[in-house]
Amino acid sequence: MSANGTQAIDRAAQLLTLVVQADEPISFTELVEETGLARSTTSRLLAALEHQRLLERDGSGCYIAGALFALYAARHDPWEQVVRLAQPTMAKIGAETGETVNLGTAHGDSVVQIAQVDATYMLGARDWMQVAAPAHCSALGKVLYASTA
């Protein structure tokens, strides 16, 4: 038992993290091997996570993220999390270059800016937040085109 009594929570979180971060459904055996937990402990924890809709099994019996994750995703703007994660890197780039830093995503044939760090110079780029621009007409769009070529 851990010093603060959270061993079961830590183990369940470890299983949940492995499943959610996996690129494809993950089997019970893979989870046991990856965590080093006893099969009985792994089974009990996975059952509890399934009961709480944090995990579920696909048709082959492998584990995938549960319905609670889908519900969360449906209720929240997914780009908000991307922006939250990208903001420190964007701020660092902006501080080092003094230039405007934009983060955008492809949306059909357009690029939509989802975050911006303003330049430190007196003259800077306009605020492009939530503006959809044809991808071929923007620098970011051209970068996205180049990365898929």
Per-residue pLDDT tens over the stretch 75-133: 777 778 888 889 999 999 999 998 888 888 887 788 888 888 988 876 655 666 666 77
Q: Is the pLDDT of residue 60 over 80?
A: yes
Residues 82 and 138 placed together within one structural domain of the fold: yes
The strand pairing partners of 107, in sequence order, are: 110
Mean pLDDT of the chain: 85
- Between 104 and 149, name the one with better pLDDT: 104
Question: What is the domain extent for residue 64?
Answer: 7-74
Instruction: Report the pLDDT value the prediction gives residue 119, as an integer from 0 to 100.
Output: 84
Residues 63 and 101 placed together within one structural domain of the fold: no
pTM for the structure as a whole:
0.56
Q: Please name the residue ranges forming H helices in the chain.
A: 7-21, 28-35, 39-51, 67-75, 78-97, 139-148
Residues 11 and 63 placed together within one structural domain of the fold: yes
Amino acid symbol at 82? V
Total count of domains within the chain:
2
* 49: three-class secondary structure by DSSP: helix
Mean pLDDT on 8-16: 94
Q: Are 49 and 66 in contact (CB under 8 A)?
A: yes
Residues 55 and 91 placed together within one structural domain of the fold: no
Look at residue 2 and tell me if it is in a domain: no
- Between 80 and 5, name the one with better pLDDT: 80
Mean pLDDT on 38-55: 95
In angstroms, the CA 126 to CA 119 distance is 10
- CATH number of domain containing 69: 1.10.10.10
Burial-class residue 47 by CB neighbours within 10 Å (0-12, 13-18, 19+): exposed
Residues 68 and 88 placed together within one structural domain of the fold: no
